[in-house]
């Protein structure tokens, strides 16, 4: 909301600078988002007096002027002819930029020095066209003095505060409201304007009859009648005032209603009395099917029974508190007006305004609550001002229909001790009283409990805490001391989920992966692209009722698409190697509960180098085993030994290569905690990624549930161990895991480790077979194994491998 | 052979031995089992006893001289060989390192971690919470009335009637208070969602929310905690401003701004909102506002990351441009 400093000064004698006022308001009351100096555009243009004139020696059309600017006399070359010696003029000093963009410099014009420029109205931005230079009013010029800014003389040196009125402070949505705040913050008196009203003619009630059918939604309705006025243009000062708060002048009657709204915060409306049969006004709910064309010139609006309207005998003539109807608007032929000032209840207006998407200055104020007791004053002020500007006479008596049940605020109790115990500061009782009183709050009673009755314009002071905030804010929070809490010490266990995530982040980072954070939305198209269209992930995806766009329509049931987007984007922008991961939630609808399932997941994605781009790296590395090693490291950092088991068919996510994919298992009961594999070639192609793109997905919650391996000391082996090599031929479809499992089982507790040191397929190995070479390490805790024992174990292992897996052993 | 000639010859051969092998051969020729000197030593027994002593001493001296020379030569040869080998093994250590380089933290995660640590130092425990919430936990329990503008479709993402994407982390406050009893000193962090198409906003961002509820927490303690946190985060000399604000879930309420130089040109930038927990909120979770009180605060992690690292657009945070992430 915009507030003019000049206007404020009509209510409060504030001398502080605009910056000081803004700073204090921002700290203690409402945020001033911007200070707009209206005169700034005319900086450098001063009041000057034309001393003498003579023709320019080298140009017929130019005149040499001697101009007095308070500091001295300047010579100015001027092309205008409409001035004479003794005139007061607007002088732009050298190094000034005018509103029209012209830069004024000291210069020579046809050989004569010109130290500035005499300005026209259009050059100063005061008019779109003008002829000759601007001649200033001599009396005003003498008053402000030579050398004073022209903006001051023209009344254009006002300052506007752009204020963010908080939703609980509707009382501040006016000049008077801000003036009240300033008076309290700067400890100044408030100087309200008195209204003198001259009534004449036949009483209002003879010509106007108001019926309020919904007193709950309209607790107060007032009206006055003005007869015989003349609608015309508003005077300059009023136009300028309205302009300053961002309003366009319409005519003197409508302008007054707007003016009083901005001044006192009370919305008003003027009806052309001739358009209302028998002056009959009804405040009621709209009937279904009713329509009204409003002042905004739009299509007639269909009303609902929840809308409150002002109606004549038959039909609505205004949407109450929001906007007047077109049919009853004041026009140039209007002579009599019915002036309305009312109090409409905030939720009604808020809902109606929202339903019809109309946000007017009037609805803005009713939504926040106006002053029930200020209605009469605003009505009288507006009536008086209309008569002053448009003539006519005010009919005796105002109509005032009031629901007396409404708007009686109960006094709020304030325990004086709470200042200390809730705010933590020491304040004398008299200071507490002073602060509350300065805000118009009536304080009675005495410590330990005061009783505070808030002024009728404040709707937000309903609890002790509200009063405590008022006490606190007047001096600002910046002056408060700082203290640390005097807490009771409580033992707290750090969150295991957070520890888990942090540990994973560290191990992934150590392996060269960077953390991504993506929006949690995906599109249907994305899910198609990762081949999930027919899967439960799609069916259970949580759809938003009001998405921002189709590409953000679903909550993600997988972290994959966003990471693929990022990978693809990065590679297209010259990044050669991409290792990113994200830790976040996926969302899946469930039929048995209102809230969807939320699962914490980790997805790590590695897109290999587009080409061999590192000087020392063997090209032929299998990317799967690299990311497998990272996965195992991630498991180990959480003290889990993760296992990877071949998976196929429906068990496998369709975005993974069906031949290069494994389930990730954890713990003795082999809980499934994720998947690892190569990205499906079709998915890779969709995002233009390498077919060797690998990834794994870890389910973090089940992983957190699995018991980690305890850390237990075991002494280093005392007796030496031995190693033996096993070379064999086995069928290609025998998995390494099967072989290893047999070796462990068959070696009867003497095996302490094994490693695959060679694997070969090709020339020399029969088709359909693979040659594998394992080195096994045997050791006993209590003795040195004899050759015999070792041989026996090795033989047993060999036998088991041959019998169960068809291994042919080679020497 | 004349002993002195033998010694001279041996010493000369030792000195000219080109490598360890040559040296071993020289040694074997002189001192080996069939070596010239060994043979002479073996012949000692055939000498007359009176001549034996003198001859024995001469032979032993010769042997020791040759041995010493061989040992010295061996050491010299080894030293040379080692030096040669080491020289040949020289590599260009300025070639690039191989293996993975350290990955990068996301800027929002970086400030999140830093703040969680700072709050841990003040005794605040971290808890987690849901992102899809009921209107009850996101609004009603927080004293946000049904007709509040924030509850409109244009501000909040709806999943179905009564179910929304949380618009702030405050539901965690409510759920935690419901589950537990004071004293509580808790923070939470996470993603929140607002229906915002504006390019200067993002439909998803991150918040940190915290509260302390016991029987004695005061407003000046709120100030003490938050000022301590902001000084840890932005440096001891950070300029702060604490001003009045309005939130439905706190009373009194305030907001803290910090002054930022650089592209912000010394402007005050909002950094967090806070206040004393509203008695209605306490009542809604079953607490008695006459017996307990506390303060709460919330801040945007994305905004803090932007202010701390000089990021001018929030969009940048969720693009995951590797070239940007590599700065962190």
Q: Write out pLDDT tens, residues A703-712.
A: 998 888 888 9
Binding-face residues of B in 199-238 toward A, CB within 8 A? 202-204, 212, 214, 216-221, 223-225, 227-228
In a domain, B197, yes or no: yes
Sheet with A514-515: strands ordered across:
A514-515, A578-588, A597-607, A694-699, A671-679, A656-666, A643-646
Same domain, B44 and B150: no
What is the token pair recorded at A177?
């409201």
Average of per-residue pLDDT across B262-288? 93
CA dist list (Å): B147 to A561, A760, B143, B161, B280 = 37, 72, 11, 15, 17
C-alpha distance from B174 to closest chain A C-alpha (Å) = 17
In a domain, B98, yes or no: no
Same domain, B49 and B151: no
Binding-face residues of B in 62-121 toward A, CB within 8 A? 95-96, 98, 100-106, 108-109, 113, 116, 120
Percent of chain B with pLDDT strictly greater than 90: 62
* CB-based contact A566 B320, cutoff 8 Å: yes
Give me the pLDDT at residue A411, please: 92
CA pair distance B230, B239, nearest whole angstrom = 10
What is the token pair recorded at B186?
């808790």
Same domain, B44 and B160: no
Element of type H or E holding A699: strand A694-699
Give me the pLDDT at residue A577, please: 83
Q: Write out pLDDT tens, residues A363-393.
A: 999 988 899 999 999 999 999 999 999 999 9
- Sort out which chain A residues have CB atoms less than 8 A from B114's CB and list them: none
- Sort out which chain B residues have CB atoms less than 8 A from A610's CB and list them: none
Give me the pLDDT at residue A311, please: 95
- Sort out which chain B residues have CB atoms less than 8 A from A169's CB and list them: 246
Q: Of B219, B227, B323, which has the smallest distance from its Cβ to A422's Cβ?
A: B219
In a domain, B97, yes or no: no
In a domain, B96, yes or no: no
Same domain, B69 and B111: no
In a domain, B247, yes or no: yes
Same domain, B22 and B111: no
Burial of residue A621 (CB within 10 Å: 0-12, 13-18, 19+) is: exposed
Q: Write out pLDDT tens, residues A404-456.
A: 777 667 899 999 999 999 999 999 999 999 999 999 999 999 889 999 999 99
Same domain, B202 and B289: yes
Contact A564, A682 (CB under 8 A): no
What's the total number of domains in chain B? 2
Query: Is pLDDT above 80 for A2?
Result: yes
Same domain, B133 and B273: yes
Give me the pLDDT at residue A771, please: 93
* CB-based contact A168 B185, cutoff 8 Å: no
φ, ψ of residue A454 to 5 degrees: the values are -85, 155
Give me the pLDDT at residue A614, please: 56
Query: Is pLDDT above 80 for A57?
Result: yes
Average of per-residue pLDDT across A393-399? 95
In a domain, B147, yes or no: yes
CATH for B234: 3.30.930.10
* ipTM of the complex in this document: 0.86
Read off the pLDDT band of A403 (50, 70, 90): confident
Number of inter-chain CB pairs under 8 A, A vs B: 245
Same domain, B125 and B79: no
Same domain, B156 and B261: yes
What is the token pair recorded at B164?
């929304």
- Sort out which chain B residues have CB atoms less than 8 A from A520's CB and list them: 131, 191, 193, 204
Q: Of A463, A578, A584, which has the smallest distance from its Cβ to B251's Cβ?
A: A463
Q: Of A495, A542, A580, which has the smallest distance from its Cβ to B159's Cβ?
A: A542
Q: Of B217, B228, B244, which has the smallest distance from its Cβ to A477's Cβ?
A: B244
In a domain, B93, yes or no: no
Give me the pLDDT at residue A677, please: 94
Q: Is B267 on the interface with A (CB under 8 A)?
A: no
Same domain, B245 and B130: yes
Domain stop point among B88, B116, B145: B88
The mean pLDDT of chain A is: 91
Burial of residue A759 (CB within 10 Å: 0-12, 13-18, 19+) is: exposed
CA pair distance B55, B47, nearest whole angstrom = 9
Q: Of B109, B120, B223, which has the smallest distance from its Cβ to A480's Cβ?
A: B223
CA pair distance A259, A687, nearest whole angstrom = 61
* CB-based contact B224 A473, cutoff 8 Å: no
- Give long-range contacts, CB 8 A cutoff, 24+ apart: A496-501: A496/A704, A497/A600, A497/A700, A497/A701, A497/A704, A497/B128, A498/B116, A498/B126, A498/B128, A500/A638, A500/A700, A500/A703, A500/A704, A501/A583, A501/A600, A501/A700
Same domain, B62 and B132: no
Domain stop point among B88, B119, B150: B88
In a domain, B100, yes or no: no
Query: Is pLDDT above 50 for A125?
Result: yes
Contact A519, A559 (CB under 8 A): no
* CB-based contact B221 A515, cutoff 8 Å: no
Contact A611, A638 (CB under 8 A): no
Give me the pLDDT at residue A619, please: 47
Query: Is pLDDT above 90 for B254?
Result: yes
Q: How far is CA A62 from the centre of its chain?
A: 58
Binding-face residues of B in 114-153 toward A, CB within 8 A? 116, 120, 122-123, 125-128, 130-134, 147, 149, 152-153
C-alpha distance from A456 to closest chain B C-alpha (Å) = 20
| Residues in CB range of A779: below 8 A, 6 or more apart | A717, A719, A720, A721, A722, A750, A752, A785
Q: Search chain B and give the residue with CA nearest A26.
A: B243
Give me the pLDDT at residue A615, please: 59
Boundaries of domain holding B13 = 3-88
- Provide the whole-model pTM: 0.85
* CB-based contact B133 A595, cutoff 8 Å: yes
CA pair distance A469, B241, nearest whole angstrom = 17
CB A345: neighbour CB atoms within 10 A?
Answer: 20
Q: Which residues pair with A281 in a beta bridge?
A: A210
Q: Write out pLDDT tens, residues A278-288.
A: 999 999 999 99
- Sort out which chain A residues have CB atoms less than 8 A from B100's CB and list them: 510-512, 579
Domain stop point among B26, B58, B88: B88
Read off the pLDDT band of A346 (50, 70, 90): confident
CA pair distance A541, A538, nearest whole angstrom = 5
Q: Of A169, A488, A516, which has the smallest distance from its Cβ to B320's Cβ?
A: A516
Coil, helix or strand at residue A470: helix
Same domain, B200 and B307: yes
- Among the listed ranges A93-97, A358-362, A622-626, B15-19, which one has the minimum average pLDDT value? A622-626
Read off the pLDDT band of A312 (50, 70, 90): very high
* CB-based contact B243 A587, cutoff 8 Å: no
What is the token pair recorded at A736?
């390494």
Q: Of A31, A422, A489, which has the smallest distance from its Cβ to B218's Cβ?
A: A422
Give the best residue of A32, A487, A489, A575 to mutate against chain B (max B CB count within 10 A).
A487
Give me the pLDDT at residue B199, please: 66
Q: How far is CA A165 from the centre of its chain?
A: 16
Average of per-residue pLDDT across A452-464? 92
Average of per-residue pLDDT across A239-251? 90
Contact B250, B277 (CB under 8 A): yes
Give me the pLDDT at residue A406, please: 75
- Sort out which chain B residues have CB atoms less than 8 A from A542's CB and list them: 132, 159
Give me the pLDDT at residue B1, please: 62
CA pair distance B324, A514, nearest whole angstrom = 11
Query: Is pLDDT above 50 for A651?
Result: yes
CB B77: neighbour CB atoms within 10 A?
Answer: 17
């Amino acid at each position: 909301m915009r507030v003019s400093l000049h206007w404020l000064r009509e209510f409060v004698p504030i001398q502080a600078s605009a910056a000081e006022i803004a700073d204090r308001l921002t700290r203690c009351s409402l945020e001033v988002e911007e200070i707009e100096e209206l005169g700034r555009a005319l900086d450098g243009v001063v009041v000057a007096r034309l001393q003498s004139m003579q023709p320019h020696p080298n140009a017929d059309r130019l005149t040499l002027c001697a101009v007095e600017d308070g500091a001295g006399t300047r010579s100015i070359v001027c092309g205008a002819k409409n001035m004479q010696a003794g005139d007061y003029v607007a002088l732009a000093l050298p190094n000034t930029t005018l509103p029209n963009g012209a830069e004024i410099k000291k210069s020579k014009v046809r050989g004569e020095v010109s130290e500035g420029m005499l300005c026209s109205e259009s050059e100063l931005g005061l008019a779109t066209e003008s002829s000759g230079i601007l001649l200033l009013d001599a009396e005003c010029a003498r008053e402000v003095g030579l050398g004073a800014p022209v903006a001051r003389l023209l009344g254009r040196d006002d300052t506007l505060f752009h204020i963010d009125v908080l939703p609980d402070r509707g009382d501040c949505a006016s000049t008077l409201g801000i003036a009240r705040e300033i008076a309290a913050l700067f400890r100044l008196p408030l100087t309200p304007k008195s209204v003198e009203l001259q009534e004449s003619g036949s009483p209002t009630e003879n010509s106007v009859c108001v019926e309020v059918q919904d007193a709950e939604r309209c607790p107060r309705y007032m009206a006055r009648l003005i007869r015989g006025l003349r609608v015309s243009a508003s005077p300059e000062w009023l136009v300028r005032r309205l302009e300053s708060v961002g309003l366009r002048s319409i005519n003197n009657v409508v302008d007054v209603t707007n003016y009083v709204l901005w001044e006192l915060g009370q919305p008003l409306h003027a009806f052309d009395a001739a358009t209302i049969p028998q002056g009959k006004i009804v405040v009621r709910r709209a009937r279904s099917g009713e329509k009204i064309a409003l002042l905004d010139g739009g299509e007639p609006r269909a009303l609902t029974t929840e809308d409150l309207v002002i109606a004549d005998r038959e039909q609505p003539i205004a949407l109450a508190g929001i906007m007047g109807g077109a049919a009853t608007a004041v026009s140039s032929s209007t002579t009599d007006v019915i002036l309305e000032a009312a109090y409409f209840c905030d939720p009604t207006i808020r809902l109606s305004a929202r339903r019809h998407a109309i946000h007017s200055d009037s609805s803005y104020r009713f939504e926040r609550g106006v002053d029930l007791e200020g209605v009469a004053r605003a009505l009288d002020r507006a009536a008086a001002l209309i008569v002053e500007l448009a003539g006519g006479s005010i009919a005796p008596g105002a109509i005032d229909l009031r629901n007396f049940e409404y708007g009686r605020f109960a006094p709020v109790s304030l325990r004086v001790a709470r200042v200390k115990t809730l705010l933590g500061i020491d304040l004398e009782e008299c200071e507490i009283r002073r602060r509350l009183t300065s805000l118009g709050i009536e304080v009675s009673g005495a410590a330990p409990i005061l009783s505070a009755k808030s002024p009728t314009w404040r709707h937000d002071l309903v609890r002790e805490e509200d009063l405590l905030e008022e006490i606190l804010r007047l001096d600002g929070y910046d002056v408060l001391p700082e203290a640390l809490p005097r807490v009771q010490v409580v033992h707290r266990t750090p969150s295991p989920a957070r520890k888990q995530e942090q540990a994973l982040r560290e191990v992934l980072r150590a392996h060269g992966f960077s953390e991504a954070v993506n929006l949690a939305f995906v599109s249907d198209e994305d899910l198609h692209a990762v081949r999930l269209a027919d899967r439960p992930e799609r069916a259970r995806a949580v759809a938003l009722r009001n998405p921002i766009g189709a590409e953000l329509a679903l909550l993600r049931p997988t972290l994959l698409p966003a990471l693929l987007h990022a990978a693809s984007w990065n590679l297209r922008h010259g990044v050669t190697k991409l290792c990113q991961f994200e830790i976040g939630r996926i969302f899946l609808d469930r039929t048995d509960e209102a809230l969807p399932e939320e699962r914490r997941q980790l997805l790590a994605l590695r897109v290999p180098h587009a080409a061999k781009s590192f000087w020392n790296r063997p090209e032929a590395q299998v990317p799967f085993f690299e990311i497998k090693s990272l996965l195992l490291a991630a498991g180990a950092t959480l003290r889990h030994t993760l296992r990877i088991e071949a998976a196929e068919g429906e068990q496998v996510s369709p975005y993974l290569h069906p031949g290069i994919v494994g389930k990730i298992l954890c713990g003795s009961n082999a809980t499934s905690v994720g998947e690892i594999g190569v990205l499906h070639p079709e998915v890779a192609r969709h995002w233009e990624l390498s077919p060797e793109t690998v990834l794994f997905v870890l389910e973090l919650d089940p992983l957190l549930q699995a018991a980690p391996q305890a850390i237990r000391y075991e002494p280093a082996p005392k007796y030496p161990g031995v190693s033996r090599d096993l070379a064999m031929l086995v069928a290609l479809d025998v998995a390494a895991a099967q072989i290893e499992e047999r070796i462990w089982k068959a070696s009867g507790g003497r095996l302490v480790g094994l490693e695959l040191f060679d694997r070969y397929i090709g020339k020399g190995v029969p088709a359909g077979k693979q040659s594998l070479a394992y080195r096994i390490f045997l050791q006993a805790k209590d003795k040195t194994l004899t050759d015999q024992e070792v041989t026996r174990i090795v033989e047993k292992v060999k036998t088991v491998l041959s019998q169960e897996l068809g291994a042919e052993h080679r020497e | 052979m004349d002993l002195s000639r033998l010694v001279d010859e041996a010493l000369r051969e030792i000195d000219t031995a080109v490598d360890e092998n040559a040296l071993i051969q020289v040694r074997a020729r002189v001192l080996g089992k069939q070596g010239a000197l060994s043979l002479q030593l073996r012949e000692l027994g055939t000498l007359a006893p009176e001549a034996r002593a003198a001859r024995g001493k001469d032979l032993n001296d010769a042997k020791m001289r040759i041995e010493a020379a061989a040992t010295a030569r061996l050491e010299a040869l080894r030293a040379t060989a080692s030096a040669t080998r080491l020289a040949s093994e020289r590599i260009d250590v300025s070639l690039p390192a191989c293996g993975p380089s350290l990955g990068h933290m996301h800027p929002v995660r970086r400030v999140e971690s830093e703040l969680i640590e700072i709050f841990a130092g003040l005794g605040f425990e971290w808890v987690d919470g849901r992102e899809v919430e009921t209107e009850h936990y996101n609004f009603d329990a927080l004293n946000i009335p049904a007709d509040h503008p924030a509850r409109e479709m244009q501000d909040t993402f709806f999943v179905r009637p009564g179910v929304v994407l949380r618009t702030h982390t405050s539901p965690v406050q409510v759920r935690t208070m419901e589950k537990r009893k004071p004293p509580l000193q808790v923070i939470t962090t996470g993603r929140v969602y607002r229906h915002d198409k504006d390019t200067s906003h993002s439909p998803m961002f991150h918040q940190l929310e915290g509260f302390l509820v016991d029987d004695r927490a005061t407003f000046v303690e709120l100030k003490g905690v938050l000022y301590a946190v902001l000084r840890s985060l932005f440096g001891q000399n950070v300029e702060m401003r604490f001003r009045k604000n309005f939130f439905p879930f706190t009373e009194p309420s305030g907001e803290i701004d910090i002054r930022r130089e650089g592209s912000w040109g010394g402007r005050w930038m909002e950094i967090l909102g806070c206040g004393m927990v509203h008695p209605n909120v306490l009542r809604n979770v079953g607490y008695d506002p006459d017996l307990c009180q506390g303060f709460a605060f919330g801040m945007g992690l994305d905004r803090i990351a932007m202010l701390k690292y000089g990021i001018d657009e929030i969009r940048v945070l969720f693009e995951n441009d590797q070239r940007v992430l590599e700065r962190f």
